[in-house]
Structure 1
Amino acid sequence: MSGICEGRVAIVTGAGRGLGREHALELARQGAKVVVNDLGTTLNGDGTSTGPAQDVVDIIRARGGEAVANGADVADFEQARAMVQQAIDDFGRLDILVNNAGFVRDRMIVSAEEDEWDAVIRVHLKGHFAPLRHASAYWRGEVKAGRMPVARVINTSSGAGLQGSVGQGAYSAAKGGIASLTLVAAQELGRYGVTVNAIAPSARTRMTEGPFADAMAAPEAGFDKMDPANVSPIVAWLASPDAGDVTGRVIEIEGGRVCVEEGWRHGPVRDLGKRWQAAEVGPLLRELIAQGATPEPVYGA
């Protein structure tokens, strides 16, 4: 296999199914050697299985590529470290980290249980931080040894994290946190030759087939804009050496539509030059809100 990621080494988390599977296959198609990570859990995070990751490895190898399976829990700090080390031990280096693993436990806020909140925040937010932390330490070590990396991190946010999604408070909070983590990591890691971007994909996966079943239904004929494979070429380019001038961006992808998100920006402002009185605040904020852009609608509102 050859392509825009020829000879590079990638880790893709949650790569046994859905988006992660397509990312792993596309990176391999583009010439990367891939550590295919998947814990093999159910949609709500229960159980484990080595089957999904190994299935993807088998496909890559059958096509002439190189891949190994990894069953780490990416939100476990030590297991995430060992996963990064596996890439280095098996393939001699690490160039690309695609953080994709996650699951959902959708619930209206008034009905959400503490353990559901904790589980979703853990797998998405800590599950991004832990691999990123250990990969970053490796790349910093490379710089100290006189070898400047050409490294790429692609995180996975969501429209739920950018605009919000009714019934997905924990998921939206975690995905919003991932977008912010991406901005910070892009600034901190640039000195080590690392770019950090995030995608916000819309695609048909286990996580979307429940709440968005009608919107995610495959068309009877023609272009299937909800095919998760549509997202992966953008991931592959962001993972390539050519993408070295793009960092700190969140990119929304749906079918053939690609949108660079603009995120939080300073809007209308008024500086009184002294402390505001409480009775003055209402008219001030209403005036500024009227001058500003209308917020994007929350999904499901």
Structure 2
Amino acid sequence: MENFNFTTSDSSIFILTGIPGLEAAHIWISIPFSIFYIMGLLGNFTVLFIVGKEQTLHKPMYLLLCMLALTDITTSTSFMPKTLCIFWFNLKSITMNGCLTQMFFFHAVSTMHSAILVTMAFDRYVAICNPLRYATILTNARIAKLGLLGMIRAVLFILPMPLLLSGQPFCANHIIPHTYCDHIAVAKMSCGDITASRAYGLVMAFVIIGFDLTLIGLSYGLIIRAVLRISSEEAHQKALNTCTAHICALLMAYPVGLFSTLTHRFGHGIAPHVHIILSNLNYLIPPMLNPIIYGVKTKELRDKVLKYICRIYSFCGTDFKPA
């Protein structure tokens, strides 16, 4: 494929290079990336469809699961179509407004994703520590309000990022060595003083992740304290099973994301292509695995999925019985 490498004096056009140093392998890299993306879309849309169709699943826990699925779909879709266009068709140009819009949606939805994980931790705390009051404490309306609060927080915290960069002068080549318009990658292209922009991005990363992890840690601390007070081994196992899916979602969301954020700013010894591949996988693998994990660990959801699979096989004339 022809190498697309040019500079332009048009300040409204940026160039996304893809994965620096691995341009020749873009087609091969696109295969696992597109598979992860498509599987994530199928899994999360399946969750939305099943919960939407089944009246018995219209509960706070499944409403939160739908919110998580929506943020997973939006996060990966905010950058993957453009990334695949770079890999497949060498379409590397993007307007400045398009770049800043992509940046806003990508980081805002990621922030909202974190807020949903916090709400899910609170949901698990109430389910284990106050099961008799669960229905009165966590109603669908209250969950919807918490989701709206998370969205407002994301907009207020992330909107200054593109606004600070929109007034910056950019260097002549306008080349972004990335597959999408990440905040710090765009900021590094500026010829002006980006101290405020860099500081704001770093502070927001630590404030958002630090605050959310503190609340999650507090929830799980109270859960552990409540579980330790119960002598029954069966109750311990039940509590563990209740939290397993959420813990897996946490382990996929925070460690790699925080590592990626820090290495992009301070990891000068790490090869750029390693960081960029890691950044992409960080927002492709969790959306693919979350529906699988929750489908396996949540019996009620799993049973509904199997019911629809049986209907499909029956419609196709195949005798299928789930194990």
TM-score after normalising by structure 2: 0.27
Higher strand share: 1
Higher helix share: 2
TM-score after normalising by structure 1: 0.28
